[in-house]
């Protein structure tokens, strides 16, 4: 099954992806995670992407699409995947159809309000070692701002401050209407409220949308 999860930053894409991976046993591809790792490793792509990411802007289509094209050739994706964070623009959606030939199966959109996005992202803290997300109030670590698994100090992503979050959301909403229309026309779009708690969202996706 080739699934896309999309929605504004903070919609809960990462959480739903994790739940779906466990259930469907499919690889998870997050373009945000791949880009952050490229930046961390100071690769050529990372160097080109960093400025855009720190400013909360989209990395240019050509760079991200090339990265996705390479990832799609790897053998672990032969039974499908859960793609998170891509496509973000109509050009990316078209490029993905081109890369996959037969296109995707379903695009699940987590529509989420600004109030909820700001609350979730400004309170998010991440483990630098394993990448697990926490939240200051919604999902705090067990002790002292340390990752429950790695016991390493959590950090705040540089793009999770309120001004950058609002900018990321407005960039996202401006761009995403074309992606929504693209999959709506193909009859593949499924709209779920990302304001609901993660358990309810997962129930709707797995039972109503995927009939698992």
**E-assigned strands of 44-150?**
81-84, 106-111, 124-126, 133-135
168 lies in the binding site for ligand AMP (CB under 6 A)? yes
96 is a site residue for ligand AMP (CB under 6 A)? no
> Among the candidate windows 86-94, 106-114, 130-138, 186-194, which touches ligand AMP by CB under 6 A?
86-94
Residue pair 157/124 in contact by the 8 Å Cβ criterion: yes
Q: For residue 80, what are its two tokens? A: 């499908």
Count of residues that interact with ligand AMP, criterion CB under 6 A: 17
DSSP at 41: T
Asked if residue 88 binds ligand AMP (CB under 6 A), the reply is: yes
Whether omega for the bond prior to residue 87 falls within 30 degrees of 0, making it cis, is yes
Query: 59 or 108: whose CB is closer to ligand AMP?
Result: 59
First-to-last C-alpha distance (Å) of the chain: 12
Rounded to a whole number of angstroms, the minimum distance from the CB of residue 59 to ligand AMP is 4
Question: For ligand AMP, which residue of 19, 26, 29, 32 counts as binding (CB under 6 A)?
Answer: 32
Of the candidate residues 4, 39, 59, 107, the single one contacting ligand AMP (CB under 6 A) = 59
Active-site residue (options: 50, 106, 124, 125): 124
- Alpha-carbon gap, residue 10 to 28, rounded angstroms: 17
According to the binding rule CB under 6 A, does residue 12 interact with ligand AMP? no
Among 24, 53, 93, 176, binds ligand AMP (CB under 6 A): 53
Q: Does position 18 bind ligand AMP by CB under 6 A?
A: no
Q: Provide the token pair at 73.
A: 């050739």
Angle at CA of residue 186, ends 184 and 192, nearest 5°: 40
Residue tagged 């739903």 (tokens): 16
9 binds ligand AMP (CB under 6 A): yes
The helix/strand count (H/E) of the chain reads as 8, 7
Footprint of ligand AMP (CB under 6 A):
9, 31-32, 35, 52-53, 56-59, 64, 85-86, 88, 92, 159, 168
Show which residues are catalytic: 13, 88, 124, 157, 168
């Amino acid at each position: 099954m080739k699934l896309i999860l999309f929605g504004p930053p903070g919609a809960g894409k990462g959480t739903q992806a994790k739940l779906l991976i466990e259930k469907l046993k499919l690889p998870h591809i997050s373009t945000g995670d791949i880009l952050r790792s490229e930046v961390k490793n100071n690769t050529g792509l990372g160097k080109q992407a960093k400025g855009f990411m720190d400013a909360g802007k989209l990395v240019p289509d050509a760079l991200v699409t090339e990265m996705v094209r390479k990832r799609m050739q790897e053998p672990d994706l032969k039974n499908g995947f859960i793609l998170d964070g891509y496509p973000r623009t109509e050009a990316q959606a078209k490029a993905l159809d081109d890369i996959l030939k037969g296109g995707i199966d379903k695009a699940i959109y987590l529509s989420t309000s600004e109030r909820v996005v700001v609350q979730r992202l400004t309170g998010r803290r991440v483990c630098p070692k394993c990448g697990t997300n926490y939240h200051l109030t919604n999902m705090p670590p067990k002790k002292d701002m340390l990752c429950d698994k790695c016991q390493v100090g959590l950090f705040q992503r540089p793009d999770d401050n309120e001004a950058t979050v609002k900018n990321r959301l407005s960039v996202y909403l401006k761009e995403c209407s074309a992606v929504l229309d693209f999959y709506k026309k193909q009859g593949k779009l499924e709209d779920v409220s990302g304001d609901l708690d993660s358990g309810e969202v997962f129930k709707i996706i797995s039972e109503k949308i995927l009939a698992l």
